[in-house]
Structure 1
Amino acid sequence: MAAGNTFGATVLSSYGGFWISIAITFIPGGFGIIGALEEADSGSPIMFYNAFGLYLMAWFIFTFMIMLCTVKSTVAFFSLFFVVDIAILLIALSYFFPTAQELPNEGLMKAGGLLAFLGAFLAWYNAFAGIADNSNSFFVVPVVHFPWSEKGRSARLRKTASGAA
């Protein structure tokens, strides 16, 4: 925020709060959220699953809005939020559609987990792409700018100008 990067500050603080809230929810003996909802539903986890699925849907919406803010940046950055958004959606759906044994849907959970793993890789890729430049690295990783982005347009104009010369 101090450097003027409102997007970065918003995203990092929001997802930091997300992970803190996940820890608060799932720490055994902590806040007792899961136990309280199961007790309210006669020992069934379905009330917790519905509540947690709604919670994740709110994060799906937030991530979608953040993803829309990356449309003018790079393909790598947009891909990160797209993959994370779909991962959150699949994990939320796994809670909305539990199995007959009252467990989250394993197939949806695994698919969401794999996409979350891919999202983690993309996050590290974007982090490295953001810090590795000609001043501190022997190579710069490609990020591919969208053609409608400012850098994409200027690259097209340079290419057109060099072709005309």
Structure 2
Amino acid sequence: MTNNPTALAIKDTTANPAPLGLLGFGMTTVLLNLHNAGFYSVNSMIIGMGIFMGGIAQIFAGLQEWKKNNTFGATAFTAYGSFWLSLVALWLIPKTSFGAAYASDEKSVGFYLLLWGIFTLFMFIGTLRSNRMLQVVFFTLTILFFLLAAADFTGNETLHIIAGYEGIFCGLSAFYGCVAQVLNEVYGKTVLPLGVKRTTVKIE
């Protein structure tokens, strides 16, 4: 009696979580940077979107990317979802009775943004093996973090406004990536191009 080993292949039939993550990132980034550009003040609209779309939706997408064995997507969506929750915490904690003494000054926020910029720079390097859409999102996000950090370190309001407009473009790029992936999948063809995908790294 001989034992013949049998190969078992498991096909992943779950949906693509990346459009949700890109939507959460893109919409909240546009809305926050309209504030940075001077169109309105921080308000409950930004805070609400930051918690639920920027935070919870992205973390959910990141957890689904983890299940798909996509380290890049899982790290990116979970990290930036946590960024949004931490940003909301920075705004709200000083408004509480116990947190008033812990309000962050511009210098500390500058270091906060600088670290996120460094992290995003390394993530951008990872996108060089991915599609053009993803490269644009992470490149412009890197610039956004560095501009905002510089604005906080120097107190230069002009830099802050420039960062706002640059951030609007970054957010719209992610929004485009969401819509493109959804429509391309629905129609089974390239409706909106994402750029040539090279290999391995993906958020799709």
Q: What's the TM-score, normalizing by structure 1?
A: 0.72
Give the root-mean-square deviation of aligned CA atoms. Answer: 2.3
Does the aligned pair in 1 maintain the 2:107–2:153 contact within 8 Å? yes
- 1:132 is paired with a residue whose SS is helix
1:134–1:140: 8 Å Cα contact kept in structure 2? Answer: no
CA contact (8 A) 1:67 1:78 kept: yes
> Which of 72, 75, 86 is 1:21 aligned to?
86
Instruction: State the alpha-carbon separation in 2 of the partners of residues 132 and 111 from structure 1.
Output: 32
Distance of aligned partners of 1:71 and 1:139 in 2 relative to their CA distance in 1, 3 Å threshold = closer
Match of 1:141 among 175, 179, 192: 192
Partner deviation per Cα, 1:13-61 (whole Å, 9 max, x = no partner): 100111111111111513636x4357xxxxxxxxx11111011100000
Where does residue 82 of structure 1 map in the other structure?
139
- Which residue of the other structure, out of 68, 73, 76, is the alignment partner of 1:11? 76
**Map of 2:37 onto structure 1:** none
The secondary structure found in structure 2 opposite 1:69 is helix
Higher Cα Rg, which structure? 1
1:65 to 122, 146, 157: 122
The aligned residue for residue 26 of structure 2 is none
Q: Percent identity?
A: 29
Measured in 2, the distance between the counterparts of 1:49 and 1:150 equals 40
Distance 1:4 1:132 in 2: 24
User: For residues 9 and 134 of structure 1, do their structure 2 counterparts lie closer, same or farther at Cα, with a shift above 3 Å needed?
Assistant: closer
Amino acid at match of 1:127: C
Residue identity matched to 1:61: I
- C-alpha separation between the residues in 2 aligned to 1:138 and 1:77? 19
Alignment CA distance shift 1:14-1:134 (3 Å):
closer
Does the C-alpha gap of structure 1 residues 114 and 137 become closer, same or farther in structure 2, counting only changes over 3 Å? farther
Whether the 8 Å CA contact 2:109–2:149 is kept in 1: the answer is yes
3-state secondary structure, aligned to 2:127: coil
Q: Is residue 49 from structure 1 mapped to residue 126 from structure 2 by the alignment?
A: no
Higher relative contact order (CA 8 A, sep 6+): 2
CA distance in 2, matches of 1:145, 1:139: 12
Q: Are the counterparts in 1 of residues 131 and 195 from structure 2 also a CA contact under 8 Å?
A: yes
- Within 1, Cα distance between the matches of 2:199 and 2:88? 40
Kindly state the Cα deviation for residue 122 of structure 1 after the two structures are TM-superposed. 0.5
Distance 1:132 1:97, change over 3 A: same
Please say if 1:106 is aligned against 2:106. no
Number of residue pairs the alignment of both structures matches: 133
Mapped to 2, the partners of 1:23 and 1:85 lie a distance apart of 20
Larger deviation, residues 125-134 vs 113-122 = 125-134
Gaps in structure 2 of 5+ consecutive residues:
1-65
